[in-house]
A and B are shown apart, each in its own frame.
Chain A
Amino acid sequence: DVKVTQSSRYLVKRTGEKVFLECVQDMDHENMFWYRQDPGLGLRLIYFSYDVKMKEKGDIPEGYSVSREKKERFSLILESASTNQTSMYLCASLRDRNYGYTFGSGTRLTVV
Chain B
Amino acid sequence: GQQLNQSPQSMFIQEGEDVSMNCTSSSIFNTWLWYKQDPGEGPVLLIALYKAGELTSNGRLTAQFGITRKDSFLNISASIPSDVGIYFCAGQLRGGTYKYIFGTGTRLKVLA
Which residues on A are within 8 Å of B, measured CB to CB? 4, 9, 31, 33, 35, 40-45, 48, 50, 58-60, 90, 92, 94, 96-106, 108
Complex CA–CA separation, A42 to B3 (angstroms) = 8
Chain A residues positioned under 8 Å from B35 (CB to CB): 103
List 6 interface pairs A-B (beta carbons < 8 Å), by A numbering.
A42-B104, A43-B43, A44-B1, A97-B98, A101-B90, A104-B42
Residues of A within 8 A of B111 (CB): none
Interface residue range, chain B: 20 to 34
Q: Which residues of B have CB within 8 Å of A105? A: 40-42
Q: Which residue of A lies closest to B34 (CB)?
A: A100
20 other A-B residue contacts (CB within 8 Å) besides A45-B1, A101-B45, A103-B42: A33-B99, A40-B9, A41-B104, A42-B3, A42-B6, A42-B102, A42-B103, A43-B88, A45-B99, A48-B98, A60-B1, A97-B92, A98-B48, A100-B100, A101-B33, A101-B100, A103-B35, A105-B40, A105-B42, A106-B41
- Closest B residue, CB atoms, query A40: B104
B6 contact set on A, CB distance < 8 A: 42
Quick check: is B31 within 8 A (CB to CB) of the other chain? yes
List the A residue with the shortest CB-CB distance to B32: A100
B31 & A106 in contact (Cβ 8 Å cutoff): no
CB-based contact B98/A50 at 8 Å: yes
B105 and A42 form a contact (CB under 8 A): yes
Cα–Cα, bound, A98→B35 (Å): 15
Q: Kindly identify, within residues 47 to 106 of chain B, every residue whose CB is under 8 Å from any CB belonging to chain A.
A: 48, 50, 88, 90, 92, 97-100, 102-105
Chain A, Cβ-Cβ closest to B100: A101
B43, B50, B104: the one within 8 Å of A90 (CB):
B43
Interface pair B3/A106, CB less than 8 Å apart: no
Query: Interface centre among A31, A60, A92, A97, by most B CB within 10 Å?
Result: A97
